[in-house]
C-alpha cells in the first residue's frame, strides 16, 4: 500500500510539473574563433515586452529564463555590443532550449579633443 501511494504521488508530481526554459550563450565571433562573452551585463528582451538584466557566466551563458511553451523573439543587448536578435525561438514543453547568440562589438568612437582658443 505504501509503494502504491508513493508511486501515485510520483506520477502525479511528474505530470503536474511542466517547466520549460531557455539558456542563452552569448558568443563573440572573432575571425574564425567563437569566444564566449564572460562576466558581462546584458539586457534580454523577450517579445519586446519582458526585459531582464542578466550577467553572463564564465562559459558565456546567461542564467536560465523560465518561459511558457511557445515561439519567441529574443533580443540581447549590452553597453559595448550591438543588439542581437533571434526570431522564432521555439520553447517546447518540459524542455530546456539552448540558444547561442552571436554578438558584435560596437565600433569604437574616436576620442573627442577640445580645441582651445589662443
The domain spans of the chain are 19-102
pTM confidence score:
0.75
pLDDT in tens, 103-112: 999 988 776 6
Of the candidates 87, 52, 94, the one whose C-alpha atom is nearest the C-alpha of residue 72 is 87
Q: CB-based contacts of 45: which residues, under 8 Å, 6+ apart? A: 51, 74, 75, 77
Distance (Å, whole) CA 18 – CA 41: 29
Domain at 19-102, CATH homologous superfamily:
Carboxypeptidase-like, regulatory domain (2.60.40.1120)
Other CB atoms within 10 Å distance of the CB of residue 61: 18
Pair 68, 20: CB distance under 8 Å: yes
Tell me what pLDDT residue 15 has.
46
Query: CA nearest 103: which of 118, 116, 84, 88?
Result: 84
Q: Could you tell me the three cell numbers for 53?
A: 538584466
Name the DSSP letter for residue 12: H
pLDDT tens-digit profile, the chain (118 residues): 666 555 555 555 544 456 799 999 999 998 899 999 999 999 999 999 889 999 999 999 999 999 999 999 999 999 999 999 999 999 998 899 999 999 999 988 776 666 666 5
Amino acid at each position: 500500500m505504501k509503494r502504491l501511494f508513493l508511486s501515485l504521488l510520483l506520477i502525479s508530481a511528474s505530470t503536474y510539473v511542466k517547466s520549460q526554459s531557455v539558456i542563452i550563450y552569448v558568443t563573440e565571433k572573432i575571425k574564425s574563433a567563437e569566444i564566449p562573452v564572460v562576466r558581462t551585463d546584458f539586457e534580454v528582451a523577450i517579445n519586446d515586452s519582458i526585459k531582464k538584466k542578466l550577467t553572463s557566466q564564465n562559459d558565456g551563458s546567461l542564467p536560465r529564463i523560465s518561459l511558457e511553451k511557445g515561439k519567441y523573439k529574443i533580443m540581447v543587448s549590452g553597453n559595448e555590443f550591438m543588439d542581437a536578435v533571434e526570431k522564432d525561438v521555439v520553447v517546447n514543453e518540459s524542455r530546456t532550449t539552448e540558444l547561442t547568440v552571436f554578438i558584435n562589438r560596437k565600433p569604437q568612437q574616436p576620442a573627442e579633443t577640445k580645441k582651445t582658443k589662443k
